[in-house]
Amino acid sequence: MTWGGTGICRHRYGSCELWTLDDDLAGSGARRFADLVDLFFRSGDTSLVVDVRLVGLVDSIGADALTRCRDAHPGLRVVGRPASWDSLTVAVRRSLMGLGPQRDLESAFAAALRSPAADEQRRHPRIPLQLPVDLLVGGRRTTAALLDISRGGVHLSHVHEQCLAALQAGGGFSILGLAANPLGRELTGVCGVEPVPAAPVRAAAPADFGASFFGSPPPV
């Protein structure tokens, strides 16, 4: 949804929130954005990911607003470069690079949500959050959740009993609900086309299965 009279689309992931900006970050709009960030953290939230890859113009006010927000709120992380990167001034680009932007949502959420004790060496970061989805198993649709999400693979939880036998048997299934979610789209390469074919790769517990996506995108 959009919020605060600005081009901000909000998605909630557990204790972390994603803001996707799709408007200019300049002038009074940049000041309004900074006020909304301050309001977000004053409300008690501690983790915010801001995706600027769809942003158009960023002027010095916008760059300063992002820098001030990042300095004031350690729980703020920025993703990507604005679409207008090549046309931005050198000073603005330098300010944006000083924010230490994450390359993608996968990296940003992994950094925002993991604890230092949980660090591990993996080709792709694991994101410790829960994402509600639907499963299509043997023609039956049932609700479930994705856990410990990583590029190309997840854990499934909260699977309905009637589908457990089919999953335990190792049959293929499909995941629905990813195309409507920014993180799901990025990890699977889905852009409005569903369902996403998947297959079990291991059974960790009766109601907690590993799964891999078919045709998941290459590393970025």
Give the Cα separation of 139 and 218 in Å (integer): 29
Question: Please, what are the domains in the chain?
Answer: 2-113 (3.30.750.24), 127-213 (2.40.10.220)
pLDDT at 150 over 70: yes
pLDDT at 144 over 50: yes
Give residue 130's pLDDT band: very low, low, confident or very high (50, 70, 90): confident
pLDDT digits 0-9 by tens, 51-80: 999 999 999 999 999 999 999 999 999 999
Q: What is the pLDDT of residue 147?
A: 85
| Cβ atoms 214, 201 nearer than 8 A | no
Q: What is the pLDDT of residue 61?
A: 97
Q: What is the pLDDT of residue 24?
A: 93
The better pLDDT of the pair 125, 6 is held by: 125
Give the Cα separation of 21 and 27 in Å (integer): 15
The better pLDDT of the pair 174, 92 is held by: 92
pLDDT digits 0-9 by tens, 197-217: 888 876 666 556 788 887 655
The better pLDDT of the pair 53, 150 is held by: 53
Average pLDDT, rounded, for the chain: 83
User: b vs e for 56-69, b when ≥16 Cβ sit within 10 Å of the residue's Cβ?
Assistant: ebbbebbbebbbeb
Q: What is the pLDDT of residue 26?
A: 94
Q: For residue 217, give the DSSP letter.
A: P
The better pLDDT of the pair 78, 127 is held by: 78
Angstrom CA distances, 142 to 84, 107, 164, 165, 172, stand at: 42, 29, 11, 13, 15
